[in-house]
Structure formats: structure tokens, C-alpha cells
Amino acid sequence: MTRRVVRGFWGPREESVEAVAGRWRRTLERLAELLPQAGAGTTEPRADEAVLVAELRAKGEGDRAVGTPYELSLTTEGEPGWGVDVSGRAGGLSEDLLQAIVIAVESPDDAEVPEARLLAAVAAVWAPDFGDVLDADVSDALDEAGFEAGEPFLGRIGYLSPGRAALLPADLEAGGLLMRDGGQVLTLAPRGDTGTVVRANVALREAGVLESLPRPMERARLDAFPADTVRAVAEVDALLAGPVPEAEAGATAVLWEGPWLQGVYEQEWTAASTTAQAHLAAVEDGLDARWGPHRSVGMRVPMARKIDGTPMPPLFRTLVDHDYLGDLSVWGPVGDDGRYVGVSLNQTDGDAPMIVAAVVSSEPIVELDD
């Protein structure tokens, strides 16, 4: 039997019980896809969001204080030699204790386990600050090298949030998978090569990649911007409460604006882009916690119509007139009036500031057909 754990860690991120249940549901669905032989379809509780909400609430009954994370654990029954245990705490505001999702996978020694894909799934669903795939040999080696529990370090395979990934040393030898939000899944070494894993962690620590979140913690990830996120969410609230011009079909606002980038190239430009993406991700996290997971609406067709000079609905005309051409993350209907909210990352040209913008519409925001 071979055992490994797939883990993700992050700082304070307050979420509703429904939002946490949604993350659990998506986790169980991905486990069923990636580990069918482990019996992920027989989890208890099952991947039913209403059941998960009830279970999370039951675990939190009693003296649960405001800001305390919701905790849950489950197991599966699979084919002989296979098993999965999942535990997590999420949705809280602890300034000292990291929140986490931990998936322990046991398999026959000769079985192929999609470890990197499991970690990528954890990263996509939970938006952690860092995470890894760890086994006992690597854990022992890192402990001997002075890496302590509760501090960032990576196993044979690791995940880094966008802010940490931006600090990766150029000479690090590791295969990687770039995530949608700019984070990276890195393969540091094959199973059994503990020395390479330790050396890589030492290099990452020296480069600042494995810096701990400052205590008391005030953010979920190293690349999150809590004060800006609070302000941005407040601006979205103000936009929701205000009028929507009928002729434009949408009200817009700039939530964040970066510096001008004239004369900025290569690594500095990449760092600026990573910072902008982190601001967008932080706003998405804040709004996801309030309204549930967002959906994506592409802007390819409005961009093409702008170039061709062909008509488009007023909402998209408003967006392209402002040069808000980034794909939208959309929620809705939300609020008392059942409006729709979209946010996007934009840049009018290579020298201009990167901008996170919001739009509020009384009509559904749906992707245009070709």
C-alpha cells in the first residue's frame, strides 16, 4: 500500500455555509472523476449540496463563534487496496490558524494515481495560498532539514498562488502547470528523490516563495489585498444600489487601477500582470463568498464586432466603448432588484495601467454567439 496526502492551505477567508458546501461538492465531483477506483462515489456525506450544507451546519452547532471555520471529514470505500479520507476547515477568519483541505489517498503500490491533477483540482476549487502532494519519506526529510509544520513548504509536487509563483527563481528545475489565475502546480521530483525536494525547498525559501503569511493573518493568500478587496466589494454594492442608464444597459466602475507601464518590460511587466491578476482573483473570491461561484462570459465576439463595426447589444457596446475587453466573471441575479454583476481585468494598450472593472446590469449577462 502507498499513501500520500494532497493538501491546500490558506489564511482567513470568511464564507457562507452555502459557499463552503459548494466547494465541498465540487471537490467530491472531481474526486469521483479522478479516482473512480477509490469509491469516491460512495462518500459519506454524498456530493449533494443540500446534504453538505446540513452536515456543515450540524458540525457548527453549539458554541460556534463568529469567524470560526466550518469543519467536515469523510471517507470512501473503494476497490481492494484503495481508500480516500478527506478533511477540511474553511470559511473562517482565524488570524493564527491556517484553513486547509487535506485528501489522503491510499492505493496499491503499483497503481497510477494522478497526483498533479488532484492538486490542480484542489487549487481550482479552494484557491489556496500553497499546497502540495506529500508522502512520509519527504515529510521526514523536510523535518530533518528544519521545515516545520504550519509553515509553507512543498512536497514532491507543489502548488503556489499567483503572488508566490511570481517569486519563483528563474533557475529552478521543475515541470509546471500554469493555472487560470496565474498560480502554478510544480513537479519538483519523482517519488523517492527526497534530496531534490529538500534542495528545491531551500531555494524557494531563500527566494521568498515560502514566506509565511504575516501574523496576525489578515489575508487568504500572499497575493491577496484585503483592504483593496473590502473597498472593491463596497464599490460593487454601491454600483448595485445605484441607477443603471437605460441607454447603456449597464453601470460601470473601476475597482482597482495599477501604475502606468511605459518602459516596463519582461520580468517587471510579468510582475505587474501577476499583481493585477491577484487583485481580480481577490475580488472574485470576495464576491464568490457572497453569491457563490461565478461563471465566465467571454468577450471575443464583442471584440470582433468592435473591429468590424457591426452592431451589438447596448451592454457590450458600453463595455467595448470603455475598452473593458477582458472576459467577465459574472454573478446573478443578486440583490433586491435581481441584477447581474460582472468584473474583468483590462488594459487599453501595452503602456496603460491594468484595470479591474465592474459592470452592473438589469439584464442577464450572457456570452454572445458568433
Read off the pLDDT of residues 219-233 as tens digits, 9 standing for 90 and up: 889 876 665 676 788
What's the grid cell of residue 151? Answer: 509553515
337 and 362 Cβ atoms separated by less than 8 Å: yes
H helix and E strand count, the chain: 10, 13
- Count of other CB atoms within 10 angstroms of residue 36: 13
Q: Is 170 exposed, middle or buried (0-12, 13-18, 19+ CB in 10 A)?
A: exposed
State whether residue 175 is helix, strand or coil: strand
Q: Is 92 exposed, middle or buried (0-12, 13-18, 19+ CB in 10 A)?
A: buried
CA 133 to CA 6: how far, in whole Å?
5
Query: Which amino acid, residue 300?
Result: R
What pLDDT was estimated at residue 366?
97
What pLDDT was estimated at residue 60?
61
Q: Does residue 127 come out as left (phi exceeding 0), alpha (psi in the -120 to 50 range) or beta? A: left
CA 139 to CA 211: how far, in whole Å?
19
What's the grid cell of residue 112? Answer: 497510477
Counting Cα atoms < 13 Å in the Cβ hemisphere of 33 gives: 9
The DSSP line for 92-131 is ---SSS-EEEEEEEEE-TT----HHHHHHHHHHHH--SEE
CA 252 to CA 249: how far, in whole Å?
10
State whether residue 70 is helix, strand or coil: strand
Q: Which stretches of the chain score pLDDT less than 70? A: 40-47, 60-66, 224-228, 230
What pLDDT was estimated at residue 203?
94
**Nearest alpha carbon to residue 176 among 190, 158, 194, 192:** 158
pLDDT digits 0-9 by tens, 114-165: 999 999 999 999 999 999 999 999 999 999 999 998 899 999 999 999 888 8
Strands 130-134 and 2-10: antiparallel
Query: What phi and psi values does residue 226 have, to the nearest 5 degrees?
Result: -60, -45
**Nearest alpha carbon to residue 154 among 210, 231, 206:** 210
What pLDDT was estimated at residue 299?
97
The partner residues of 344 in beta bridges, in order of sequence, read 357
328 and 356 Cβ atoms separated by less than 8 Å: no
Query: Which amino acid, residue 60?
Result: G
Residues 6+ apart with CB under 8 A from 80: none
- Count of other CB atoms within 10 angstroms of residue 321: 11
Residues 6+ apart with CB under 8 A from 92: 12, 13, 14, 67, 68, 69, 70, 99
CA 338 to CA 364: how far, in whole Å?
9
What's the grid cell of residue 334? Answer: 443578486
CA 118 to CA 131: how far, in whole Å?
11
Question: Any idea where the domains of the chain sit in the sequence?
Answer: 2-206, 226-361
